[in-house]
Amino acid sequence: MSDFKIQVDELDEKAKSFRFLASESWWGAREEGSDGQATEVVSGFAFQLDVARKADDIILSGDLEAEVILECSRCARRYSHALRDPFSLALEPAKGREPTDLEGVQGLAENGVWLGEDLEAGWFRGPKIGLDDFFGEVIALAMPLQPLCSESCPGICSHCGADLAKTQCDCVDERLESPFAVLAMLKGVTEEK
């Protein structure tokens, strides 16, 4: 059952604001079974959203804000990463329709909502909308595929493993191994003749 719910009959044409805070343990429970270790969450995942009823449809729009500890994909340092992502979702009444997959059918029955492929449209049914799955998808999408502690992170030396942000190592300059450097050297040799 969903932790985060919206009562459909409370909604109106005029948008209502909601704020939900999803905790580290909530996210940890969802991440279980997926690969890797649990993400360390500094502040919880704050969801701010405006929800309105437009004719039969329910329109949600809002944004996610959170601070998580991620591991830099270049230097492996753990750093604090600000997640910030806007989202919107339009739900129409499912009426007699059923999703084609079992998971979708269960979700619609249990949480009153089914999410389409692109996470921007879906169906709802019943008096309440459970937003847990939607929030989970928004967080997953906001996580960077290749986290970087900074855009200019120099990473670690591929020879000695030195952290190049902190220290300069004595390894042979790798530029000499690049094809361009080799060409430049050959050119230099021929010009000398």
The contact set with Zn ion (CB under 5 A) reads 72, 74-75, 149, 153, 157, 159-160, 162, 169, 171
Please say which residue, 18 or 79, places its beta carbon nearer to Zn ion.
79
What SS3 state is found at 187? helix
SS3 for 22?
A: strand
DSSP-derived secondary structure letter, 131: -
**Shortest separation between residue 151's beta carbon and Zn ion, angstroms:** 10
Would you say 116 or 155 has its CB closer to Zn ion? Answer: 155
Contacts 24+ apart (CB under 8 A), 32-41: 39/68, 39/69, 39/70, 39/143, 40/68, 40/69, 40/78, 41/66, 41/67, 41/68, 41/69
Query: Which lies closer to Zn ion via its Cβ, residue 117 or residue 151?
Result: 151
| 117 versus 170: smaller Cβ distance to Zn ion | 170
